[in-house]
Homo-oligomer: A and B are copies of this chain.
Amino acid sequence: MVSQRAARLAAESPAIATAHFRAQADPYHPERNPDGCINLGTAENRLVWDLLEPRLTAPRPVRAEDVHYAPLHGTAALRTTIAAFLARCWGTAVDPENLVVVSGVTGALDVIASALCDPGDAIIVPAPYYSAFDVDLVGRSGARLIRAPRDGAGGFELDAAVIDRVLEGARRDGVIVRAVALTSPDNPVGHVYPARTLREVGEVARRHDVDLIVDEIYANSVFGPEPFVGVLDPAVCADTDGTRAERTHVVWGFAKDFGLSGLKIGVLHTGHPEVRAAARALAYFAPVSTDTQLLARELLADEDWVEEFTAEHRRRLGRSYDRAAGLLTEWGIPHVPASAGFSVWTDLSGWLDSLTLAAEHALWRDIWEATRVNILPGAVFGCPGPGWFRICHTTDPAVVSDGITRLGRHLSSIDRTSLPRPGARSADGARHMRIGSTHA
């Protein structure tokens, strides 16, 4: 009845979205619904609404031309404003002609994957990776992902040598590899990458003649001491002839850094003329409302407001992380210290019946059923070892606190004496991760 492609897509609903809407169906409220679901699975920024509200509810200077046909890869006015914003963020000049604006970062990832890959072509992703890559980069393009495992024992650092090895192996197997894709700052672990790390990955891509796709959706959601370094920063991808920059495609959006996840403004930067032409042609199918483009333009154009907003967003984000990480520590739940992003990458392997993905899945179900707290298991992020969970904290502190308390209480009630790694992390955790961490 439906096309094969559509049937496949319909069967593969993104795990994050499914869990999100399940949890949102019966949401917790401290008084009105104290037994409701607590959603710590969705990386949504609910910390800044009070800063946004006055701007979003104000009268808007909409003119006739703001509701008429406009270039479908974004109005020149919006692209110019975004270019100025990204130039400050990346520390390098940005040409508005290199920007393609589409309805969401999902759309932007789909556009770049579809522009680069024919069905069956491969994209290498350091794993764990942003879970929705499975749909965003794959669903419509027909590309497939090949995982380059990141080492949990090494704190899930990004290792260019592993990417190199996996890429070489895939090619030996006859696979056409078109790109390496990663998030920077990192999701789910929360690392901020130094220039050197990004440069090494870029060099691997260049050596293998494949493109680099970097999802920088958390660029302004850094709260740790290390500064964000954009992949297009000259310290990362300077070369004599500009070819590396042309083969590096960056994605950004308003969902995380501005807390406007519903507005679905995704931005792709690509300096490669052919890729840009292809991306513009694909943008035709997923344009952003010109009304919302006007709103975004007005927000970004007020540079003083953006600076104050971003500083406050980061302060709140750091406090939110510290609270969540502190609570986890209080409950004896190990986790990797984060410097960016909306979540804590948490190690529950000490509560697994066996060190398998099946046991991880069982624990996930057990937690959901016992606590009604939605957190996401490492399996959906392609994590190489079992037992890791992503806990998002960027919502009402009382809700986060109640969620982690439910979780901590439930985990404490599990008799771990017969488990394979009873209190594993309390012994060897110190070697590669601290239990808890705070940022001044």
Residues of A near any B CB (own CB < 8 A): 1-7, 9-10, 12-14, 17, 20-21, 42, 44, 46, 49, 52-53, 56-62, 64, 66-72, 103-104, 106-107, 110, 114-118, 121, 135, 139-141, 178, 259-265, 272, 274-275, 277-282, 284-292, 295
Contacts and interface: CB of A to CB of B under 8 A. Distances in A.
A106 B191 CA distance: 39
Contact of A135 (B67, B107, B284): B284
A326 to B, nearest CB: 26
A265 B13 CA distance: 23
Contact of A114 (B6, B106, B281, B286): B6
29 contacts: A1-B275, A2-B115, A2-B275, A3-B278, A5-B114, A5-B118, A6-B114, A6-B115, A6-B281, A10-B274, A10-B277, A17-B72, A42-B69, A49-B64, A56-B62, A57-B60, A57-B61, A59-B59, A67-B262, A103-B103, A106-B284, A106-B285, A139-B285, A140-B282, A262-B289, A262-B290, A263-B290, A289-B289, A291-B291
Contacts of A44: 68-69
Contacts of A289: 103, 262-265, 288-289, 291-292
Contact of A59 (B10, B57, B295): B57
A259 to B, nearest CB: 7
A66 B262 contact: yes
A4 B110 CA distance: 15
Contact of A10 (B14, B280, B291, B292): B280
